[in-house]
């Protein structure tokens, strides 16, 4: 949002620097409107107040002047306008403007996604949905990005854009002091190799916007009005009847044109001094602009004409341009560019006390529901694809099913917006995102029935798994049977979440993309030893006396072991806290304790820096968040559970925080014993409190941390000291994984949603799990952007401890398995026993099935056909989109980091017979053989090797590659 750029902009109001060369500076004026899909106002409010008018008036105005241009960035608003507002005449005009390149779609995703807390799966989804719509509707494929507003830049984003066929990437929000240095050294432009494994194969030219960011400079020396925004400021809830908006700029007249020209030219020259070529990108627009485009263009036209008529005097020429025209000019300059490696631009700071690291943890509930919806979508997509291929004429109506899936695709896409999943939006917008997600999830669940007695358990992964599932039930006694009527190992106990329900744990064996049916029999009465219920172990807890914090002096005297085949955990009866974990394979003990700490935030802007939705700025070090701890241990035959309750005051009746640790017992070697599952309960918090789970260990990590970029790759985060705000600037986003290590051991956490994470002391790993903040900043109050989040949150982390080599083999798969746990679906009528199970689909252990779905777009995969011939309006149900990712980095593991060759016909035979296989770009719009990305010159002059086509159905996937295919299966004859 615009106000948040001000600290970055205002610091640098330098005197204009003259450009030294004799050639005039060529200025590319790029008209745009930054339209947040959410943030302060709901999507419906924005459409009504201004967004629909942007596209209506821009379409009309571009048609009046051949020189005029406009870039359309967030597709959700454009698609809504196209589907619900645009007339036939508008649509005809748009098609012509797109064909002429005067209306250009940039990024092309549903939203401009956040880069810190979004997951790889969801970034790809929202781009794929937008690109599919644009290709189907106009036959165009976006090739440039405009990532001007995400709060920091990840190194995964440029890799994904390169894989999607982009030629250049544009970012803006990076640390103010770093941007300052890059401007002075003229290295705001570089070639970025975002992946250390893919290197130059997926490099991309990247342009960093200067200190003025994406908005036109708003200060006019000769007027109190904002500069260059002749249509003024958007009004909510309704546009004014008379068309007069607040703060409309002075019109360009004979009297004002020279003053306007001087202001614009000075700004252009100031920018030009920071870049290596004679070309200046001059963004014209800002938040919610161009809803009255005629006023905008009718003032800018004569101003630009005046500058060009006096270009010798000014040393500047100006022209309306699309983003592709600007990048084309840079590309043709034929310069040699510096290379940037895989380091990212996180975290982001706008000034010494403004570290934007709070949003990594804001609105924990929304972050959790968004990931849950994404996982449900993945499972539903793979199930529907299997069903369609096996039963093309089955009873489930394909149009109805696709509508349900598409609603969830769009809800998951929408919340990836940089003021969505970040938690930086107003409460009503957060409610809107949640409502769209929950409604769409319920729609997908309509594919399933609702009776409690039978369930189908489905494994959405293309790996064989043995795991424990937990079903919440209302009876204290239960027996579980598989689809052959055989009893299944199970355990039942009082629920950790409620006194009136029970947790039923079941061991399930599932092949890849396979489901199994289970039936339950329940009873209120305990059963005799030989009954059907006796196979289910009834676990009972042992409660330990509440312990005060001050008893800390006497620790380690009474240690209680809880073991499985991988670990021995020792709990201290003097404190009721974890004392140490031994990983048994190497007989190595690590001292370790876990508890909760609070950062207290300042809520008064007059007394110092504040924390808010975006910013983390603690008053001081964290303080212990409890005075006493209670512990209950429930030994089991399938899982042993340790419940720790943390009380704010020693005699409080209700606990403030809890940790529930589940230690799996092993069944032979099938069940993974190294996964310690922890679920936490936090809230409601006290106001202006930010709560962390602190895991303190004996590891000598020197405060160096590793965290993931978007669940795709790990980044090393050495601790850095700053003059101010060192604590907050050493927080990083954890989307799926974080770890600390020394020479001997590594402690890994994998997560079911995004959090902030830091290592503030040697051996420490702290995860910010929840925030509740209020402050009196006028801006926050005016737009209701305070974070008075009184919810109770229940996130989950899985913990692994072991040697570096052992954990390297495990953590990527663990993160994926946490993301895609088996889906439990209650069903109405179980099918007759003995019906043949579906065949499994199994990939090698270092490959993961990222996508298997029926996109349904009706475009032709041959671009020429698409442009020259009409399209049928029916969705294409025969085209299946398949994506496979190699989970490992180059050199990470001696075996698992090797390239893998598989035959897709063989791998997918459990689904059907593969008839046609064609490789595509990441979002499916390019045939990979026709994709020729621009080759930018770099200092090391490394050439990208052209990809050789794989033979037939055999493909080789290298470390960190994501490969995308369209597949057609042979029709089944019944």
Cα dihedral across residues 321, 327, 328, 329: positive or negative: positive
In DSSP terms, 969 is beta-bridged to 914
Q: How far apart (Å, rounded) are the C-alpha atoms in residues 127 and 107?
A: 8
Closest CA to 138 of 85, 75, 65: 75
Three-state DSSP class for 129?
helix
Could you tell me whether strands 204-208 and 168-171 are parallel, antiparallel, or unpaired per DSSP bridges? parallel
d(CA 715, CA 721): 18
Task: Collect all residues with Cβ–Cβ distance below 8 Å to 728 and sequence separation of at least 6.
Answer: 355, 357, 358, 615, 616, 617, 618
* Cα 628 from Cα 647, distance rounded (Å): 5
Residue in the block written with tokens 């355990």: 491
Distances 593 to 39, 46, 247, 656, 732 between C-alpha atoms, Å: 39, 49, 57, 18, 22
Nearest Cα to 737, choosing from 889, 623, 851?
889
Quick one: how many helices (H) and strands (E) in the chain?
20, 44
Neighbouring C-beta atoms of residue 648, cutoff 10 Å: 15
Nearest to 52 by CA among 291, 321, 229, 394: 291
DSSP string, 884-915: EEE-SPTTSSTTTTS-EEEEHHHHGGGT--EE
Helix/strand/coil percentages in the chain, nearest 5: 25, 30, 45
* Nearby residues of 606 by Cβ (< 8 Å), 6 or more positions away: none
- Measured distance CA(490)–CA(535) in Å, rounded: 7
Residue 722: DSSP 8-state? -
Residue linked to tokens 């109001």: 13
Is there a contact between 366 and 430 (Cβ–Cβ < 8 Å)? Answer: yes
Count of CB atoms situated within 10 Å of the CB of 565: 15
Is-contact 594 603, C-beta < 8 A?
no
> Which has the closest alpha carbon to 774: 596, 597, 605, 598?
605
Choose, from 121, 149, 503, 595, the residue flagged as catalytic: 149
CA nearest 368: which of 5, 680, 786?
680
SS3 184: helix
d(CA 483, CA 347): 51
Neighbours of 463 (CB within 10 A): 22
Using CA atoms, how far apart are residues 169 and 120, in angstroms rounded to an integer?
17
Q: Rg of the chain over CA atoms, in angstroms? A: 29
Q: What are phi and psi of 758, to 5 degrees?
A: -155, 160
Closest C-alpha among 20, 2, 58 to residue 217:
2
Q: Which residue has the tokens 């975290």?
A: 347
Q: How far is CA 194 from CA 157, 161, 188, 391, in A?
A: 8, 10, 16, 42
Q: Which residues are CB-contacts of 431 (< 8 A; sequence separation ≥ 6)? A: none
Q: Is 149 a catalytic residue?
A: yes
Using CA atoms, how far apart are residues 55 and 59, in angstroms rounded to an integer?
6
Please name the residue that has the structure tokens 């960093």: 208
- Dump the DSSP string for 144-176: B--B-SSSSB-SHHHHHHHHTT-SEEEE----H
Which structure tokens are listed for 577?
């806290």
Burial class (CB in 10 A: 0-12, 13-18, 19+), 747: buried
Residues marked active site are found at: 149
């Amino acid at each position: 949002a615009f106000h948040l750029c001000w600290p970055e902009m205002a610091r640098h109001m330098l005197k204009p620097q003259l450009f030294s060369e004799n050639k005039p500076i060529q200025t590319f004026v790029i008209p745009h409107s930054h339209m947040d899909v959410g943030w302060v106002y709901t999507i419906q409010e924005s459409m009504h107040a201004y967004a629909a008018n942007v596209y209506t008036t821009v379409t009309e105005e571009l048609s009046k002047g051949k020189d005029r241009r406009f870039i359309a960035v967030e597709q959700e608003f454009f698609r809504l306008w196209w589907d619900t507002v645009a007339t036939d005449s508008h649509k005809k005009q748009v098609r012509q403007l797109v064909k002429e390149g005067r209306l250009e779609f940039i990024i092309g995703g549903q939203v401009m996604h956040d880069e810190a807390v979004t997951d790889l799966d969801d970034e790809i989804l929202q781009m794929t949905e937008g690109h599919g719509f644009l290709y189907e509707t106009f036959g165009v494929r976006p090739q440039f990005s405009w990532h001007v507003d995400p709060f920091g830049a990840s190194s995964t984003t440029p890799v994904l854009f390169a894989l999607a066929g982009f030629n250049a990437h544009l970012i803006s929000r990076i640390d103010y002091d770093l941007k300052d240095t890059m401007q002075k050294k003229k290295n705001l432009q570089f070639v970025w190799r975002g992946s250390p494994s893919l290197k130059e194969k997926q490099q991309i030219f990247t342009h960093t916007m200067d200190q003025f960011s994406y908005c036109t400079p708003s200060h006019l020396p000769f007027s109190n009005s904002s500069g260059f925004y002749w249509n003024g400021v958007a009004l909510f809830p309704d546009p004014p009847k008379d068309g007069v908006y607040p703060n409309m700029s002075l019109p360009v007249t004979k009297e004002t044109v020279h003053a306007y020209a001087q202001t614009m030219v000075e700004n252009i020259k100031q920018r030009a001094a920071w870049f290596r070529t004679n070309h200046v990108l001059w963004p014209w627009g800002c938040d919610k602009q161009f809803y009255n485009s005629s006023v905008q263009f009718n003032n800018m036209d004569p101003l630009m004409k005046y500058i060009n008529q006096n270009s010798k005097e000014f040393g500047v020429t100006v022209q309306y341009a699309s983003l592709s025209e600007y990048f084309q000019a840079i590309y043709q300059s034929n310069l040699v560019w510096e290379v940037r490696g895989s380091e990212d631009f996180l975290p982001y700071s706008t000034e010494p006390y403004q570290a934007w690291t709070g949003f990594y943890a804001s609105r924990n509930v929304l972050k959790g529901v968004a990931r849950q919806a994404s996982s449900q979508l993945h499972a539903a997509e793979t199930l529907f694809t299997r069903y369609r291929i096996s039963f093309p004429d089955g009873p489930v109506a394909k149009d109805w099913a696709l509508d349900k899936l598409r609603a969830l695709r769009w809800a998951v896409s929408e919340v990836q917006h940089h003021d969505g999943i970040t938690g930086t939006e107003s409460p009503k917008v957060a409610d809107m995102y949640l409502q769209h997600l929950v409604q769409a999830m319920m729609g997908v669940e309509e594919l399933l029935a609702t009776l409690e007695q039978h369930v189908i358990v489905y494994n959405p992964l293309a790996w064989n798994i043995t795991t424990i599932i937990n079903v919440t039930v209302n009876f204290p006694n239960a027996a579980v049977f598989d689809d052959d009527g055989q009893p299944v190992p199970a355990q039942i106990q009082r629920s950790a979440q409620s006194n009136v329900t029970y947790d039923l744990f079941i061991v399930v064996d599932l092949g890849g993309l396979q489901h199994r049916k289970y039936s339950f029999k329940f009873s209120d009465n305990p059963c005799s030893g030989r009954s059907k219920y006796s196979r289910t172990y009834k676990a009972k807890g042992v409660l330990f006396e509440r312990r005060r914090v001050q008893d800390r002096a006497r620790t380690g005297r009474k240690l209680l072991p809880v073991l499985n085949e991988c670990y021995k955990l020792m709990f201290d009866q003097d404190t009721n806290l974890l004392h140490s974990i031994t990983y048994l394979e190497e007989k190595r003990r690590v001292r370790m304790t876990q508890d909760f700490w609070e950062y207290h935030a300042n809520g008064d802007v007059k007394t110092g820096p504040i924390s808010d939705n975006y910013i983390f700025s603690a008053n001081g070090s964290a303080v212990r968040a409890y005075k006493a701890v209670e512990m209950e241990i429930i030994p089991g035959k399938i899982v042993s559970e340790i419940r720790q309750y943390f009380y704010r005051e020693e005699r409080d009746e209700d606990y403030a925080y809890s940790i529930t640790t589940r230690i799996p017992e092993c069944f032979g070697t099938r069940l993974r014993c190294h996964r310690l599952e922890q679920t936490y309960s936090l809230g409601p918090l006290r106001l202006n409190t930010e709560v962390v789970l602190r895991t303190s260990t004996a590891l000598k990590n020197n405060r160096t941390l590793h965290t993931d970029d978007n669940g795709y790759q790990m980044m090393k985060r050495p601790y850095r000291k700053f003059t101010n705000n060192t604590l907050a600037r050493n927080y990083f986003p954890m989307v799926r994984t974080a770890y600390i290590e020394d020479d001997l051991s590594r402690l890994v956490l994998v997560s079911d949603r995004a959090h902030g994470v830091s290592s503030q002391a040697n051996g420490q790993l702290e995860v910010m799990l929840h925030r509740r903040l209020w402050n009196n900043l006028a801006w926050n109050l005016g737009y209701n952007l305070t974070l008075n989040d009184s919810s109770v949150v229940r996130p989950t982390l899985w913990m692994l401890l072991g040697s570096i080599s052992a954990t390297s083999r495990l953590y990527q798969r663990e993160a994926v398995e946490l993301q895609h746990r088996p889906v439990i679906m209650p069903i109405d009528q179980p099918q007759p026993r003995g019906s043949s199970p579906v065949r499994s689909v199994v990939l090698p252990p270092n490959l993961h099935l990222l996508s298997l779905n029926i996109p349904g777009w009706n475009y032709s995969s041959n671009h020429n056909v698409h442009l020259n011939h009409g399209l049928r309006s029916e969705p294409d149900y025969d085209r299946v989109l398949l994506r496979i990712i190699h989970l490992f980095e180059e050199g990470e593991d001696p075996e698992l980091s090797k390239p893998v060759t598989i035959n897709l016909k063989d791998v997918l035979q459990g689904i059907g017979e593969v008839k046609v296989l064609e490789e595509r770009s990441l979002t499916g719009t390019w045939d990979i053989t026709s994709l020729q990305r621009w080759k930018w010159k770099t200092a090391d002059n490394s050439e990208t090797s052209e990809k050789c086509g794989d033979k037939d159905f055999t493909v080789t996937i290298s470390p960190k590659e994501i490969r995308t295919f369209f597949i057609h299966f042979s029709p089944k004859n019944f």
